[in-house]
Amino acid sequence: MKFLSFLFLALAFCFVSQNTFAHTSDEEGRITVLMHAEPEDRPLANQSTILHFQITEESKGFIMSDCKCVVTIQKDGKVIQKKTVENLENEKSIYNAFVTTNFSDEGNYNVEFSGNPKSESSFHPFTAKFDLKVGKAVVKPVNKLGIPNFVTYLTI
């Protein structure tokens, strides 16, 4: 009986739970773009956010240094920001490009990654689109006394 109850609850959680995606990807032709948002896939309003991108192509013809890549961020159909993508040259990372941004408000944003080759023969132009939910800004308490928190706790 306990086993049947456990099985029923486990199945109920599977059907009730929402899908959570740590990374999102978009594919156009032979190019796949994977996006990851820092910090921890949960960007917050009014805080610095790094959008990492991993661009892969089946024929291995894509070279990041040969790409004029731009990220366009939209909210409610209006362009909020347009940023040039920077190459990530850290060999330990799976990502090869990033932009740093700051979302002014919480809500749903559309992120568009456009890649155009600097030379004609390297790869075909592509565009990848992503939906990104930005959470409410976290209010940080202001310590006007200038006393470190641990000193306050020790005193109490």
- Condensed to tens digits (0 to 9), the pLDDT of residues 40-63 reads 888 999 999 999 999 888 777 788
**pLDDT given at position 150:** 62
pLDDT in tens, 60-115: 778 888 889 999 999 999 999 999 999 887 777 778 899 999 999 999 999 999 99
Sign of the torsion formed by the C-alpha atoms of 21, 23, 29 and 30:
negative
**pLDDT of 11 over the 60 cut:** no
**Paired tokens of 3:** 């086993």
Share of the chain above pLDDT 90, in %: 40
**pLDDT given at position 57:** 83
Beta strand pairing call for 67-75 and 48-57 = unpaired
